[in-house]
């Protein structure tokens, strides 16, 4: 997909949502098994991905593939119950399609969540605030972006005020390594990521964070640690166990998402 096709498709999608998206301020992207987080708001409207022209469809278990517009604390927010991934065969611009669409509709802030492997000293079930990321996915949604806009500085991708606030109340932080997948990492790959400074690893989020920075959005990211990464002990990871742990950790994720929404509202 090139940028011209991307823009043309977005225009069609915008037409289908403009009447329901008025006043939506924040997008919350819910990763594998985390859709229960959407219950923190008062639901107003549910929109399946497939009902939006040209919107990529999610085919991964644990990703329902719909948007839920809700009211939270007097504001309208939208939850993305699931996302699409590079490993499904999607182009980077398709991976960030939903985020870009909601930004065009007026969203100014995004919370990105995911299920991840823990490389650092975390316990399974910990929710970790992402303070930075490493792009090991070998691509970017900005490839082919018209000059000079493509040269985006990646300093402070994640909202530093939110990081400072959550650190002050004891929330753990980490560096997320985004890999391509769909296979899990080898022990050697995990050792190399650890040397590079990664403390979390997963197959999503990075493309969205890059695009959010490009679009000028405030960004916050959370990883729910669902397993110890390869070679660090614990059971051999599989997708079902990831979903099970994510479901158990959704309550803590909901608490932290709530804190961020309240913090942004006060700011």
Rounded to the nearest angstrom, the gap between the alpha carbon of residue 27 and the centroid of all alpha carbons in its chain is: 10
Residue 71 labeled ligand binder: no
Is 85 catalytic? The answer is: yes
Q: Domain containing 142 — which CATH number?
A: 3.40.50.1580
Residue 84 labeled ligand binder: yes
Residue 204 labeled ligand binder: yes
| Catalytic site residue from 88, 131, 189, 208 | 88
| Catalytic site residue from 103, 203, 230, 253 | 203
Is 87 catalytic? The answer is: yes
Give the count of domains, the chain: 1
Is 115 catalytic? The answer is: yes
Q: What Å distances lie between residue 161 and 6, 131, 219, 262, CA to CA? A: 32, 11, 11, 13
Percent of the chain with pLDDT over 90: 76
41, 77 Cβ separation under 8 angstroms: yes
Residue 208 labeled ligand binder: no
Q: What is the pLDDT of residues 160-179, one digit of tens each?
A: 999 999 999 999 999 999 99
Is 122 catalytic? The answer is: no
Q: What is the pLDDT of residues 215-267, one digit of tens each?
A: 999 999 999 998 888 767 766 766 677 777 777 788 899 999 999 999 999 87
Question: What is the DSSP annotation of 110-140?
Answer: EEEEEEEEE-SS--TT-EEEEEEEEEESS--
Host domain of residue 48: 3-15+22-266
């Amino acid at each position: 997909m090139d940028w011209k096709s991307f823009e043309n498709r977005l225009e069609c999608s915008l037409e289908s949502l403009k009447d329901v998206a008025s006043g939506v301020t924040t997008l919350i992207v819910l990763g594998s098994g985390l859709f229960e987080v959407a219950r923190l708001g008062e639901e107003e409207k549910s929109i399946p991905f497939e009902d939006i022209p040209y919107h990529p469809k999610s085919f991964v278990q644990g990703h329902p593939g719909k948007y839920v517009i809700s009211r939270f604390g007097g504001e309208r927010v939208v939850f993305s119950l699931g996302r699409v991934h590079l490993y499904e065969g999607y182009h980077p611009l398709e991976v960030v399609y939903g985020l870009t669409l909601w930004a065009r509709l007026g969203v100014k802030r995004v919370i990105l969540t995911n299920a991840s492997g823990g490389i650092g000293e975390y316990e399974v079930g910990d929710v970790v605030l992402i303070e930075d990321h490493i792009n090991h996915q070998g691509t970017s949604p900005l490839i082919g972006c018209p000059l000079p806009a493509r040269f985006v500085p990646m300093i402070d991708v994640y909202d530093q005020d939110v990081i400072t606030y959550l650190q002050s109340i004891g929330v753990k932080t980490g560096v997320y390594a985004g890999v391509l997948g769909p296979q899990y990492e080898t022990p050697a790959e995990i050792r190399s990521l650890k040397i590079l400074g990664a403390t979390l690893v997963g197959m999503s989020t990075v493309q969205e964070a890059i695009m959010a920075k490009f679009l000028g959005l405030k960004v916050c990211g959370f990883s729910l640690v669902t397993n110890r990464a390869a070679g660090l002990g614990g059971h051999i990871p599989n997708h079902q166990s990831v979903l099970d742990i994510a479901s158990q950790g959704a309550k803590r994720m909901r608490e932290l998402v709530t804190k961020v929404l309240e913090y942004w509202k006060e700011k």
